Structure 1
């Protein structure tokens, strides 16, 4: 009986150890992403809302503003939206 109790306590301690480690890793990755956003390394895709790295993204210049996209599909959707808005304004 005593061996089962010791085994249960050891198993629970290992479980807590690994769960705390997993939680810390998740928090660290969230903090790293927030820091990258604040530093301007990550930018938000205006079409789908995904955060992408500036240097590994597709981009379009709209006047003085440069927009960054996660994929060419999002970039094409954005271009279509801008063209439609320009047609409406004319």
Structure 2
């Protein structure tokens, strides 16, 4: 009766230590997860860029990239690209921005 119990206890302890040894040598998480985490521990998917024509911010991966006069600019639409090239831009004055609560 006690032989079966001690055998079960022995196998349980062996399994536990084998698992702990495995977890010690195999890191938690993948390489991809470690690369996408910054120093602060916040995952960064993309950088926000400002459209110089209309002033909105959008993810860099979604923006239209144009090189104008040696500088790279990011736009939200083709219309903003054309407006910027023609010199038309909407500047948003700080006092016109309202924050709704």
Structure 2 length-normalised TM: 0.38
